[in-house]
Amino acid sequence: MLRCLVVDDEAYAGRLLASYIGKIPFLTVAGLTTNPIEALLWVQEGRADLVFLDIQMPELTGLQFLKLCGSRCKVILTTAYPDYALDGYEYDVIDYLLKPIAFDRFLRAAQKAQTALLALAPTAAPMPVTPSALAPVSNYLFVKGESKNKFLRVNHADILYAEALGNYLALVLPNQRLVTYQTLKELAEQLPQPPFLRVHKSFIISLDQISMIDGNTVYVGEKAIPVGETYREALYKLVRDPG
């Protein structure tokens, strides 16, 4: 569970983000404030893992906040101004959300933050390996449905493969094909690798679902998927040495 601090001098904008946080199982609202100085003290006391930070604020701008808080927490910038994106990434922010922020875009940023913070988690002392110890923190994702506020939960184990369709993609399940507004690159950031692997500029597959590999073609069930030259070595390495 990631402790989230929302900092926005517009109370309505802050409440909206807090409501989004409340819909995501691995996030919790640790604090909500319109005062960036109060938020900075909160961060310095180690009371937040992730900050949703506005940029244009009167007492302390978002960029000044980033300079002062250093690496004490991860930050997702939320702003109506696209001009600060480059400045934000110089401070290693997780993502840059432009207002008005749609929930599906917020969800993707949250999943990126979860992945980044899990990678930074300290390694525990050696313990006996049990099946429960190997279980992933999250074994599902949410994808946007056909209507504005509809989101579908998809278990990782049910995904056969994903195919890029421009700015959309198709998630293919055993008895269903879901088309959602998301890029393949964004999906790759949300899926554990392995068992998921990008094998072509237009395809991500689940290694668990492969029925056969024949030269530069991999079969997921009856579906023949081309293997791009860029991705071939990684695929064959995992096939030859799955451990």
- The pLDDT mean for the chain works out to 79
**With a threshold of 0.75, does the pTM exceed it?**
no
For the purposes of burial, counting CB atoms within 10 Å of the CB of 123, is it exposed (0-12), middle (13-18) or buried (19 or more)? exposed
Residue 126 has a pLDDT of 42
CB-based contact 233:239 (threshold 8 Å): no
Mean pLDDT of 136-146: 65
**For residue 100, cis peptide bond before it (omega within 30 degrees of 0):** yes
Q: Report whether pLDDT(66) > 70.
A: yes
Q: Report whether pLDDT(169) > 70.
A: yes
Residue 86 has a pLDDT of 60
Q: To 10 degrees, what angle do helices 103-120 and 11-22 make?
A: 70
Position 176 confidence tier, pLDDT thresholds 50, 70, 90 = confident
CB-based contact 54:62 (threshold 8 Å): yes
Q: Among 162, 168, 167, 165, which Cα is nearest to 180's?
A: 168
